[in-house]
């Protein structure tokens, strides 16, 4: 409400102010509609993170209609939200891209796409070579979605990238939005899968199922993605690794657990809880990853301690 008072006194022309006083301050006190209070982050140089050079405001989808390629962006957004239904030939798991990229890739610590458009191409430790955005997306198709790569030049690949480009809001290539894709987790913690199992049944199974099978709606579309079994991500996925999964779980799961955060998600489990529950579900049976022997080829970029192979 303070904002309103300030508005009234700073911006209202003198005549109006006089009228305002004359009519009694009641008229002035009347609250006015508020605008969107969007999450805003600093933009920094890739080289020098200490220098702020601007701000980035998470865009709302209603702004897409103003883009010249609105249809393409909307198509990309739909593909990311409903990948399994729209691209059944490429998706093996019962998983959508946004099963892991929370709230359409718009929340920091929830594997956002906010910097993806600018970040690639990049040399990745797991690949041991430069990976561009198309290859990065296909990495998720092959591992997280346990599926098949999408044609690099397909309309679908272009649409997904168009959405990510729109989300980057023209932040220049040598700059980045100052956010983290994944949150911190204490990697020195020793996982206790027995305790993890207890947490799983108390805090996760209501949605992800007593057998980790997830849930589908009456049309067969994914409601809650599976955490293990044939329809889950394969062992080549980042989330098959205990600490990577824990970093995701701690800040994003359970969802609908509180009134803050877009999905009312995360931030209720301790590091130990997240590590325990992640050890429990990540090590449950899941599909193999055929190309696993090619991962982490460079001795200078060794495989992490929680790698599955």
Partner 1 sequence: MLTWLRRLIALGVVGLVLAFALGSLLPHLRTESPSLTVDISDPELIQKGEYVARTADCFACHTTLEGEDYAGGLPMLTPLGAIYSTNITPDKETGIGDYTFEDFYNAVKHGVRKDNAALYPAMPYPSYQIMPEEDIAAMYAYFMSAVKPVKRENQASELPPVFNWRWPLAYWQAIFAPEREFVAEHEDEVLARGQYLIEGPGHCGSCHTERGIGYQEVALSNLDSERFLSGATIDGWRAKSLRGEYKGLGTWSTEELVDFFKTGRTETTAAFGAMAEVVEHSTQYMTEEDLYAMAAYLKTLSPAPGKPVAGPNKEDTTTQKLLDGVYDSRGALLYVEYCLVCHRADGMGVPRIFPALAGNSAVFTENAESVLQITLSGGRMPETPHDRMAFSMPSFSSLSDADIAEVVNYIRNSWGNEASEINVDDVVKMRHFLSKKPRVGTDLPPHLGTSAQPQGGQHE
38 binds, among ligand HEC, partner 1, none (CB under 5 to 8 A by kind): partner 1
CB 265 within 8 A of CB 175: no
Shortest separation between residue 243's beta carbon and partner 1, angstroms: 12
Question: CB under 8 Å to 180, separation ≥6 — which residues?
Answer: 108, 109
Direct distance between the N- and C-terminal alpha carbons of the chain, in angstroms, rounded to an integer: 57
238 binds, among partner 1, ligand HEC, none (CB under 5 to 8 A by kind): ligand HEC
Q: Enter the DSSP assignment of 12.
A: S
Closest CA to 193 of 275, 282, 280, 286: 280
Interacting residues with partner 1 (CB under 8 A) = 1, 31-39, 60-62, 64-65, 74-75, 78, 103-104, 186, 188-190, 192, 195, 198-199, 201-203, 205-207, 215, 217-219, 223-224, 254-264, 268-273
Shortest separation between residue 66's beta carbon and partner 1, angstroms: 12
Shortest separation between residue 303's beta carbon and partner 1, angstroms: 18
Structure tokens belonging to residue 175: 């700059």
Q: What is the Cα 83 distance to its own chain's centre?
A: 15
Decide whether 105 or 147 has the Cβ nearer to partner 1: 105
Decide whether 50 or 218 has the Cβ nearer to partner 1: 218
Q: Angle between the 155-168 and 133-142 helix axes, to the nearest 10 degrees? A: 110
Distances (CA, A) of 271 to 33, 181, 200, 207: 41, 17, 15, 21
Shortest separation between residue 62's beta carbon and partner 1, angstroms: 5
168 binds, among ligand HEC, partner 1, none (CB under 5 to 8 A by kind): none
Decide whether 240 or 274 has the Cβ nearer to partner 1: 274
Interacting residues with ligand HEC (CB under 6 A) = 80, 83, 95, 97-102, 111, 113, 115-116, 119, 136-137, 140-141, 144-145, 160, 181, 203-204, 206-208, 224-227, 233, 237-239, 245, 248-249, 253-256, 263-264, 277
Shortest separation between residue 102's beta carbon and partner 1, angstroms: 9
Decide whether 64 or 235 has the Cβ nearer to partner 1: 64
| Long-range Cβ contacts of 297-304 (<8 Å, 24+ apart) | 297/128, 298/125, 298/128, 301/125, 301/128, 304/241, 304/243
């Amino acid at each position: 409400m303070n904002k309103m008072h300030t508005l009234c006194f700073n911006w209202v022309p003198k005549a109006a102010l006089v009228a305002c006083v004359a009519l009694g301050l009641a008229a002035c006190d009347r609250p006015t509609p508020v605008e969107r209070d969007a999450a805003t982050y600093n933009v920094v140089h890739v080289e020098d993170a200490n220098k702020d050079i601007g701000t980035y405001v998470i865009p709302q989808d209603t702004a897409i209609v103003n883009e010249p390629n609105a249809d393409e962006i909307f198509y990309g957004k739909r593909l990311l939200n409903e990948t399994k239904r729209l691209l059944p030939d490429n998706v093996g798991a019962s998983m959508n891209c946004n099963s892991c990229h929370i709230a359409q890739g718009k929340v920091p610590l929830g594997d956002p796409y906010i910097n993806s458009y600018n970040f690639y191409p990049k040399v990745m430790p797991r690949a041991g070579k430069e990976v561009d955005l198309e290859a990065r997306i296909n990495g998720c198709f092959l591992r997280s979605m346990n599926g098949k790569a999408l044609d690099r030049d397909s309309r679908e690949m272009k649409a997904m990238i168009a959405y990510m480009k729109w989300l980057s809001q023209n932040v220049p290539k040598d700059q980045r939005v100052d956010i983290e894709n994944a949150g911190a987790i204490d990697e020195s913690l020793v996982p206790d899968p027995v305790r993890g199992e207890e947490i799983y049944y108390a805090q996760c199974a209501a949605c992800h199922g007593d057998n980790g099978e997830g849930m589908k709606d009456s049309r067969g579309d994914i409601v809650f993605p599976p955490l293990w079994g044939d329809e889950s991500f394969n062992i080549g996925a980042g989330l098959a690794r205990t600490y990577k999964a824990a970093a995701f779980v701690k800040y994003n799961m359970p969802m609908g657990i509180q009134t803050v955060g877009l999905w009312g998600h995360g931030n209720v489990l301790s590091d130990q809880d997240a590590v325990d529950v992640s050890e429990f579900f990540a090590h449950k049976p899941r599909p193999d990853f055929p190309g696993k022997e090619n991962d982490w080829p460079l001795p200078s970029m060794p495989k992490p301690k929680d790698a599955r192979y």
